[in-house]
Amino acid sequence: MTIRTTLTIRFSVLVASILLVFSLAIYFFYARYREQEFYDRLREKALTTVHLLEDVSGINVDLLRSIDRNDLTALYKEEVTIYDDANRIVYDSGNEPYPVTPAFLREVREGEEIHLREGRLEVLAVCYRDKRSHPLTIVAYAVDRYGWSKLKRLGYILAVGWVSSVLLTVLAGRFFAGKALSPVSSIVRQVKGISASNINDRLRTRNNHDELAQLAQTFNDMLARLEEAFMLQKSFVAHASHELRTPLAVITSQIEVARLHDRSPAEYQAILDSVLEEVKSMTELSSGLLEMARVNADAATIPLEAVRADELLWQARTELLKKRSDYGVDIDFAELPEGEEDLVVRGNALLLKRAFLNVMENGCKYSPERRVSVTIHARGPVLALGFRDRGTGIAPEDLPHVFEPFYRAGRNGHIAGHGIGLPLTFRIVQLHGGDVRIDSAVGQGTTVRISLPLLVESPQPA
């Protein structure tokens, strides 16, 4: 069932229910009004009759009956019967009296006015005391022919009006539901028209301030993120292909040159060393790509545990110096927190060690001194790590792009690398709920600041 049909049905049921309650209320209150008005007329007729009987002494009963019947206030099928205190009939209008019991007459004489109805016949019993204070019981009945006719006509009018209103409500509800949902249909058509070839298109709405405009803006924000991810993926694939193709081309050309003619063992050794170097570069690049794909996967699949950041720093330092003995890493423990709990973070040891190793390696690689200084201290709920080198620095125009995969500043193009170390570090720190900031000045060096949330918040110093 479509939303338009659902809205139409719900709106129609709501309005129909309200109209039905309103119509029933009108019918009910009019019926009560008709009944009360008729009993008032019946009481007035009964009292008028007993007054005539009392005031005009010696009047002929047949004459009084004739007056009752020809009176303009005479009711349809009316009958007025008057009983004395001995339950004898002292007067009746000539029609069949309403059957009563002595107990009924006694109850009326005790002062209670009784209303009865049998079908459309309505009965009134009331007590009246004459001039000598003798109780007279008057039992009158009649049929409210005109009142019932009006009530029936009112019911017919209300029923026809209710049915007509419900039909109009269904038509109007469907029309207005369609008008209200037309922007949704427009959004659906626009979304269906967006694909990889035109992912830069955005949804348009007529009204920029309603909920549908907010929905469209949410879609546009999502499309912007998808476009960015799509472009990054294309760029990543293009750069990865280029980075892999370059060492393969070098290896291929060296092997082809080596096969042109016989060479000495020393020359073959040099060629194999060069090929091995390119293979190592490809292996390093492949490992970086695999790690990048891993950290870009679902974060829920990465196991996290309590780890000490200082131990990971030492492990990363040891691994880097084992790989490059000409590098130097100085870890400053001057501001080391006193409690061990101020060094514990919740994370993945292998990934965090890779992030620290990447930053240390970059600091040494781009520094003429081949050294980097590391500081570690707790600041409230976070553990702050600083990696400072005295290298060439990063130009201001390059700083916004350092976390993009395969991006390399032009001034550092001669240094070996693939441009995935910092992006990988940034993504790893993000997965751990941390942050990475870079402060750099050309010719003065670079400081990379990593903040990681502590497993147990450190108290603020007094």
Confidence of residue 454 (pLDDT cuts 50, 70, 90): confident
The reply to whether 211-295 shares the fold of 3-151 is no
- Residues 105, 110, 116: CA angle, nearest 5 degrees: 50
User: Burial letters for 22-34: b for 16+ Cβ neighbours within 10 Å, e otherwise?
Assistant: ebeeebeebeeeb
SS3 per residue for 138-180: EEEEEECHHHHHHHHHHHHHHHHHHHHHHHHHHHHHHHHHHHH
The enclosing H or E element of 386 equals strand 382-389
The CA-atom distances, in angstroms, between 346 and each of 50, 144, 425 are: 103, 89, 16
3-151 to CATH, choices 3.50.50.60, 3.40.50.1100, 3.30.450.20, 3.40.50.720: 3.30.450.20
pLDDT for the residue 72: 55
pTM exceeds 0.75: no
Can you list the alpha helix ranges (DSSP code H) found in 87-144? 102-109
- Residue 164, pLDDT score: 94
What is the residue-wise DSSP string for 197-250? GGTT-----S-SSSHHHHHHHHHHHHHHHHHHHHHHHHHHHHHHHHHHHHHHHH
Close Cβ partners of 352 (under 8 Å, ≥ 6 residues apart): 307, 309, 312, 345, 428, 432, 452
- In what order do the strands lie in the sheet containing 114-118? 89-92, 76-83, 135-143, 121-129, 114-118
Share of the chain above pLDDT 70, in %: 82
Task: Please give the CATH topology (third level) of the domain spanning 301-453.
Answer: Heat Shock Protein 90 (3.30.565)
Residue 400: CB atoms within 10 Å: 9
Structure tokens at 165: 């209103």
The second-level CATH assignment, the architecture, of 211-295 is Orthogonal Bundle (1.10)
Write down the pLDDT at residue 461: 47
Per residue in 407-441, pLDDT (tens digit) is 665 555 445 555 677 888 888 888 888 898 988 88
Closest C-alpha among 130, 136, 139, 141 to residue 81: 139
Round the CA-based radius of gyration of the chain to a whole number and report it.
51
Q: Quote the CA–CA distance of 120 and 139 in Å, as a whole number.
A: 16
What are the extents of the domains in the chain?
3-151, 211-295, 301-453
| Segment among 226-230, 272-276, 368-372, 445-449 with least mean pLDDT | 226-230
Q: Which of 9, 20, 82 is nearest to 48 (CA)?
A: 82
Tokens of 195: 């694909």
Top pLDDT among 42 and 58 is at: 42
Instruction: Provide the phi-psi class of 94: left if phi over 0, else alpha when psi is between -120 and 50, else beta.
Output: left
